[in-house]
Chain A
Amino acid sequence: MIDGLNPALILIGGSLLALLAPQGRARNLFMLALPVLGALQLWGLPYGEYARIELFDLTLTTLRLDGLSFAFALVFHIAALLAIIYAWRLDDPVQQVAGLLYPGAAVGAVLAGDLVTLFICWELAAVSSVFLIWARRTQRAYHAGMRYLLAQIGSGVLLLAGVIVHLRATGSITFEHLGLDSPGGWLIFIAFGIKAAFPLLHNWLQDAYPEATVTGTVLLSAFTTKMAIYALARGFAGTESLITIGTLMAMFPIFYAVIENDLRRVLAYSMNNQLGFMVVGVGIGTPLGLDGAVAHAFADILFKALLFMSMGAVLLRAGTVNGSELGGLYKSMPLTAGLCMVGAASISAFPLFSAFVTKSLILEAAAREGHWVSFLFLLFASAGVFHHAGIKIPFFAFFAHDSGIRCEEAPRNMLVAMGLAAALCVGIGVFPEALYAILPYPIAFDPYTTTHVVTQLQLLAWSALAFSVLVRTGIYPPELRSVNLDFDWGYRKLMPVVATGVWGAVSRGWEAFNTAVEHLVKRLIAGLARHHGQYGVLATTWPTGSMVLWAVVLLGACLIFYYL
């Protein structure tokens, strides 16, 4: 442990040094050592504030360690480690550098004690992560990456604007509880909301994540959104509107998840739904609610990584993750199927799996505060998540009808990464005290009461029964090759159409104006030519006689006026 060294710097610095190591085992081992060293450094640091830097007349606290930041920083290191093992055979320096820089920026963000450091890490995470999408090296991924980057940078710009307003009004850049009433509070809130994928601000997630590389999606699923959950927990804990926002977030994506064909996109919708639970926890704002949000973020990073890793392995081996083209893969990839089902059981909150001991904290917090409407919706969402992530993902990929695809089992390094993630999911489920011990607030909560176990099993078993009945009766909608319109339709279709229309109207108007002016000028020139041109009446030479005539007329007129 080096006194006061920011663990984020180990990952960020290491990302550039990694390129100096020769490609292959040496570079992989070097990369693997970085999150391990980072985690050890994090573990060894006592809670407190370190590494203050004077910048102009601002004091940046680049490292603040407390219960809230510790839990996030720790799980970010674990996620980075899992991704490095998962990508062991990858020979792509772009993804390798981005795969360290991006987690490093995320760790830096959760450890930032001030808003300026947060902003710097916020933007570094945005810029480094887009390369994980572009590394797919297809036109489609390029476009998706651009849209992703616009959303991320947009969030950064709002954050910066909010920080400036806040600084001018309060003279402080300390990142502590802000609330909506604080100066710049709304700007910062929306900046966080974009990254947390609030309803209507969410679509960058489902749009971009499934377009990233096999490893890229695993990495992306871990950091950006959880960084935002951390930031909301730090700055907006107890903000009542977050309960409504979170409930909506938990609800609406599950409908899309049911009809979505791309199984990685199904997981992206399901991620949005899980983020909803965390946002509700933050909105409740009691120690139990906040602990629930942190614990669920911790668990979510692991089971979502596991699920994305299993679908990544399917994409790698079978060449597709479309539900309509898959099925029966358990014959070729039995281990991946088993590990995927551990992830499915974890996200569905089966007893002995991670979400059972983390999501229940949020539901309990909602119940204790009397939020019965949210409670019922979250219960609906819990049944829904089991339905689409717990059953649909493994069912359509590995079982259902046999698609005839025969492929190899996932590579050994991928199985190791998935195995570790699965072990952590089960470990948290079986030994919840270990996770509860690192949460920001001390809690005494026993998830394994008879009531909780029986009611949760009832919810899950009867949801499974509903799925079975619907499939057997043919009511369940088949997986179809299609695109489902979501809010991104607004900027991917409507805005281009409106922009093209407006541009067309403006250019037509301009053309008409030009024609009219040209016509006018031509007429003017023709008129001038007629009167003053070569044969124009005003251009002819006048005889002396006419001058004399006009002089006589004028004199005559003078004479008449004189006599009058």
Chain B
Amino acid sequence: MDQFFYGLVGICIVLLLGDLLYHKHATFSFESWFGFFAWYGFICCVALVLLAKQMRKVVKRDEDYYGD
């Protein structure tokens, strides 16, 4: 599992640095920020999980809550 994780970290860094090697065609200015899609994806996923975890406190019920 460790090998897989460090391999993924390597791929992520390579892809991030890839931004330096080509001219990015951007419609919105934020798209051309360095590594925008990388860190936006990372932050979104962390935010998604943390928010969903908090949501569980409100919406989680027993499996037979609806009684059918």
Contact = CB atoms under 8 A, between A and B. Distances in A.
Interface in B1-27: 5, 8-9, 11-12, 15-16, 18-19, 22, 24-27
B9 A465 contact: yes
A459 B37 contact: yes
A461 B25 CA distance: 20
A485 B25 contact: no
B49 to A, nearest CB: 5
Chain B binding surface SS class: helix
B48 A255 contact: yes
A387 B48 contact: yes
Interface string A462-497: 111111111010011100111111100000110000
Contacts of B62: 482-483
Interface in B52-68: 52-53, 55-56, 58-66, 68
Contacts of A493: 65-66
B41 A383 contact: yes
Nearest to A456: B37
Interface stretch (A65-73, A301-309, A372-380): A372-380
Contact of A254 (B38, B48, B58): B48
Nearest to B5: A468
A255 B41 contact: no
A466 B45 contact: yes
Contacts of B58: 485
A454 B16 CA distance: 9
A368 interface: yes
Contact of A454 (B19, B49, B56): B19
Given A464-B8, A472-B5, A481-B63, A449 B44 contact: no
* Residue among A376, A380, A458, A466 having the largest count of chain B Cβ atoms under 10 Å: A458
Interface residues of B, number: 46
B44 A463 contact: yes
Contact of A458 (B28, B35, B44, B66): B35
Contact of A383 (B44, B51, B53, B65): B44
A468 B28 CA distance: 30
B27 to A, nearest CB: 4
B16 A458 contact: yes
A476 to B, nearest CB: 6
Contact of A483 (B31, B36, B45, B66): B66
Contact of B60 (A368, A449, A456, A484): A484
Size category, A interface? 35 or more
A462 B48 contact: no
A258 B68 contact: no
Contacts of A472: 5
B61 A485 contact: yes
A450 B55 CA distance: 38
A82 B59 CA distance: 36
Given A383-B45, A457-B15, A486-B59, A462 B39 contact: yes
Interface in A229-259: 254-256, 258-259
A544 interface: no
B22 A450 contact: yes
Contacts of B68: 139-140, 143
B25 A451 contact: yes
A541 interface: no
A368 B27 contact: yes
A538 B61 CA distance: 72
Nearest to A493: B66
A476 B41 contact: no
A463 B61 contact: no
B5, B30, B45: which has the most chain A beta carbons within 10 Å?
Answer: B45
Nearest to B32: A451
Contacts of A456: 37
B62 to A, nearest CB: 7
Contacts of A258: 48-49, 52
Nearest to A138: B68
A375 B24 CA distance: 17
A449 B22 CA distance: 11
Contact of A465 (B12, B18, B27): B12
Contacts of B24: 451, 454-455
A476 B49 contact: yes
Contacts of B25: 449, 451
Nearest to B24: A451
17 contacts: A143-B68, A259-B56, A384-B45, A387-B45, A451-B24, A455-B37, A457-B15, A458-B15, A458-B19, A462-B12, A462-B37, A462-B38, A462-B45, A465-B9, A470-B45, A470-B49, A493-B65
Interface of B: 5, 8-9, 11-12, 15-16, 18-19, 22, 24-28, 30-31, 35-42, 44-46, 48-53, 55-56, 58-66, 68
Given A367-B28, A383-B41, A455-B37, 5 more contacts: A383-B40, A383-B45, A384-B48, A482-B60, A485-B59
Q: Which 3 A-B pairs have the closest CB atoms?
A: A466-B45, A258-B52, A367-B27
